[in-house]
Amino acid sequence: QVQLVESGGGLLQAGGSLRLSCAASGRTFSSYSSSYSMGWFRQAPGKEREFVAAIRWRSSNTYYADSAKGRFTISRDKAKNTVSLQMNSLKPEDTAVYYCAADRNYYSDLSEAGSYDVWGQGTQVTVSS
């Protein structure tokens, strides 16, 4: 069993920075954390959920959507069982609900929402122009 809880969303002006965090808990995660990959997705009103970034827990290899490259950084803290998304140079088009997700299948396509088994409740990020 795995639970994910996001935090850190908010309202800010374009050009600002924000750091999102996702705390993972549960016996399954604690026992098998090295086999997990963690991803961040976002969903704007009227749009489909889209991939932002992902990280493999054991190797810390990272993957980014083109829209996130150079501005966003995903990282994980093994001691705290948290995954963070540092977002810089934010734009109004980054406005969305951001979701954290966990995937235990190493061979999954981490850019596909359907690959993930567990999702957090989401945190709102609003960037004003």
- Residues 6+ away with beta carbon under 8 Å from 107: none
Q: What is the pLDDT of residue 20?
A: 98
Q: What is the pLDDT of residue 106?
A: 81
pLDDT along the chain (129 residues), means of 10: 94 97 90 89 96 95 97 96 97 98 91 96 97
Q: What is the pLDDT of residue 105?
A: 86
Q: What is the pLDDT of residue 7?
A: 95
Helices of type H across 1-129: 27-32
Q: What is the pLDDT of residue 114?
A: 95
- State the DSSP code for 36: -
Cβ atoms 36, 55 nearer than 8 A: no
Q: How far apart are CA 4 and CA 101, in angstroms?
A: 7
Q: How far apart are CA 10 and CA 35, in angstroms?
A: 31
Q: What is the pLDDT of residue 88?
A: 98
Q: What is the pLDDT of residue 29?
A: 83
**What are phi and psi for residue 110, nearest 5 degrees?**
-70, -10
Q: How far apart are CA 49 and CA 89, in angstroms?
A: 21
Q: What is the pLDDT of residue 107?
A: 86
